[in-house]
Chains A and B, each alone.
Chain A
């Protein structure tokens, strides 16, 4: 594939496109012939899926509101791109040689990477590249765990880490909102769960732990947290997260060193251990 595309560069762009078309059309057909599913044109999946995707898109776009206009935006670009597709049968994106694609993928965020993998099966292979997801993991989460080899690949590990980070964020939101029902829901109802508050008090067992939170919520105003240096280690059924927190309206209390441990049951993560203690930072120690 590589050599063919380079030699074709020598002809004019028009013939180049047509020639490239045949090369990649044959490649495309070869790839498709392996799967027995019939090929559906874009129009088939266009109706229901586009509305579905818009719905999804609204979920993923937090700050920028995305409306239907983005589909109509850049009509000129679309027209050019569509014309190319009509003549070549495969898009330029798919034609980029593997190492360029890998490099290009490293610029995408996880949502774009997922989007790309949903466009078609060829892109899916490229966008599901393990190294791309590993790089994204190190970019978004932590540079640790470089030597780790996740059982299900880095994409799944990324997804699992994101899920845990979200649950962890929710935990702090529950404290900030002083929501006892949600805190009760988060903790696993078991006798081995434990909670150590910054005061040094230690609670063991679901009932005691929940009661400790109830007391905390009664006493204190809702507090603001800033979480830093979060490192998550996610295994199949268990995950542990360490972090540094700063507390208070001006985030001037702290830092605290926090460890949270979660277990996976019945399709969701439960908290089984929380430990928060004052972090002794060497710079702040008075001699």
Chain B
């Protein structure tokens, strides 16, 4: 455990203590990307040098979120400037989650949701959506490790019921 919380206020850093008792010091502008942190400190009231506990986030996730926010903060203003900046931001989004397992993404979603990091949450959700887009039910099951509790008959009945989603031809509208 480090006692970095006694840094002077002029450095403009915020201290967060994770579930595994690790203290992270981040620049204020990065920390303010976390909606939860922003709400905690508010405009006045809570002094900036107070350490904020985040018992629902593990240091592993926080490291990653900080990494994203720092890079994102750097790229976002460039993106608003010109087309090349936009392209770079898009590329960043595309590449950032490439190496992560779906399980890892889930863990990050939980952490990002707790910390209210909207941009990262958006990217995480979109990554998951892209991974299951145009895939079969079996693939989705395997990807998330979901075990089916349907009998073969139930599955068959369900597939018939949802045939409209895959063939897009005339279906009975009145029934669910």
Contacts and interface: CB of A to CB of B under 8 A. Distances in A.
A115 B140 contact: yes
B63 to A, nearest CB: 14
Q: Is the interface of A mostly helix, strand, loop or mixed?
A: helix
B110 A100 contact: yes
Most buried by A among B56, B136, B148: B136
B142 interface: yes
Contacts of B96: none
A107 B140 contact: no
A116 B134 CA distance: 12
B113 A115 contact: no
A141 interface: no
Interface in B119-176: 121, 125-126, 128-129, 132-152, 154-156, 158-159, 162-176
Nearest to A166: B168
B112 to A, nearest CB: 9
B21 to A, nearest CB: 9
B136 A44 contact: no
A103 interface: yes
A152 B173 CA distance: 9
A118 B170 contact: no
Nearest to A62: B134
A60 B129 CA distance: 16
Most buried by A among B140, B145, B154, B174: B145
Given A9-B56, A10-B19, A64-B134, A81 B102 contact: yes
Contacts of A64: 134
Most buried by B among A48, A50, A56: A56
Interface of B: 19-20, 55-58, 60, 101-103, 106-107, 109-110, 113-114, 121, 125-126, 128-129, 132-152, 154-156, 158-159, 162-176
Given A40-B152, A115-B136, A120-B146, 8 more contacts: A42-B147, A53-B138, A60-B167, A114-B166, A121-B149, A156-B175, A264-B174, A268-B170
